[in-house]
Amino acid sequence: MTAVDAAALTTDASDKSTTEVLPPPQETIAPRTDAPAFAHPSEAEFARVLDFYQLQWQYEPRSFPLREDESGRIIERFTPDFYLPDLDLYIELTTLKQSLVTKKNRKLRRLRELYPEVNIKLLYRRDFLNLARKFGLRMEGQSA
């Protein structure tokens, strides 16, 4: 659901609770009112860009089992950060620690082996920083 879709929702007439009136957004890219609790601020910023372009997205909607033990219990899984249903594309952001890039690349290779039909893109730190600069977003720990 886009920010536009969320704004179009109305409350049920039988709902006796008061409706909160939100002030107009002060930013060019308005935050979602129904945004999930993101694991990292970069994910929230990325979601704001998707909202600005009115791209539908889902946050961590699916986990892919990657390894099971001998009894069939899942011992490793991969949960991409975003799914863009209109593009049938999963997006994983790697911006926290570059030391995790090798691990994520390994998981992505395994995911592609097991699920070749899944369309997934890994955005590296430099990709995300370029995107942030393009849209004038300030990342945590960066100067203006």
Residue 73 lies in a domain: yes
Residue 144 lies in a domain: no
What are 76-98's pLDDT values in tens digits? 999 999 999 999 999 998 866 66
Length of the chain: 144
Residue 140 lies in a domain: no
Residue 95 lies in a domain: yes
Distances (CA, A) of 12 to 17, 67, 105: 10, 46, 47
Residue 86 lies in a domain: yes
Res. 56: pLDDT tops 90:
yes
**Contact (CB, 8 A) for 127 and 97:** no
Number of domains forming the structure of the chain = 1
Order of strands across the sheet that contains 89-93: 58-59, 82-84, 89-93, 120-123
CA dihedral sign of residues 43, 141, 78, 122 = positive
Query: To the nearest 10°, the Cα dihedral for 117, 64, 106, 141?
Result: 110
Residue 141 lies in a domain: no
Residue 142 lies in a domain: no
Of the candidates 71, 73, 36, the one whose C-alpha atom is nearest the C-alpha of residue 51 is: 36
Domain extent for 55: 3-134
Residue 100 lies in a domain: yes
- Confidence label for 103 from pLDDT (cuts 50, 70 and 90): confident
Of the candidates 74, 70, 73, 46, the one whose C-alpha atom is nearest the C-alpha of residue 59 is: 46
Q: Provide the 3-class DSSP secondary structure of residue 6.
A: helix
Element (H, E) at 107: helix 101-114
Rounded to two decimals, the pTM is 0.67
What are 44-53's pLDDT values in tens digits? 888 988 898 8
